[in-house]
Structure 1
Amino acid sequence: MHGTRETLILQRDVDVIYVPDGTSGTLPQGEVVQMYQALGGSYTVIASGSGRMARIAAGDADALGKEPETLDNLSDDTDAASVEKNVWEVLKTIYDPEIPVNIVELGLVYRCEVTPVDDGDGRNDVHVVMTLTAPGCGMGPVLQFDAERAIRQLPGIRQVNVEVVFDPPWSRDMMSEAAKLELGML
Structure 2
Amino acid sequence: MSQAVLAPQMSIDTPFPYDGPAALREPVEAALRRVIDPELALTIVDVGLIYGVAIDAAQARVTMTMTSPACPVTDVILDDVHDELARVLPDGMAIDTQLVWEPAWHSDRLSPRARLFMGW
TM-score range, shorter chain: 0.7 to 0.9
1 or 2, which has the higher helix percentage?
2
Specify the structure having the higher radius of gyration (Cα): 1
Report deviation, 1:175: 0.6
Q: Identity over aligned residues, as a percent? A: 27
Superposed CA offset, 1:26-62 (max 9, x none): xxxxxxxxxxxxxxxxxxxxxxxxxxxxxxxxxxxxx
| Structure 1 counterpart of 2:28 | 87
Report deviation, 1:155: 4.1
CA RMSD after TM alignment: 1.5
The DSSP-based 3-state class of the residue aligned with 1:116 is: coil
- In 2, are the aligned partners of 1:84 and 1:114 still within 8 Å (CA)? no
| Structure 2 counterpart of 1:112 | 53
User: For residues 74 and 39 of structure 2, what CA distance do their matches in structure 1 show?
Assistant: 12
Q: TM-score, normalised by structure 1?
A: 0.51
In structure 2, what residue type is equivalent to 1:179?
A
The question of 1:168 aligning with 2:106 is answered no
Where structure 2 has 5 or more consecutive residues not aligned to the other structure, the ranges are 1-19
| Structure 2 counterpart of 1:138 | 72
Q: TM-score, normalised by structure 2?
A: 0.77
Report deviation, 1:176: 0.9
The DSSP-based 3-state class of the residue aligned with 2:37 is: coil
- In 2, are the aligned partners of 1:129 and 1:162 still within 8 Å (CA)? yes
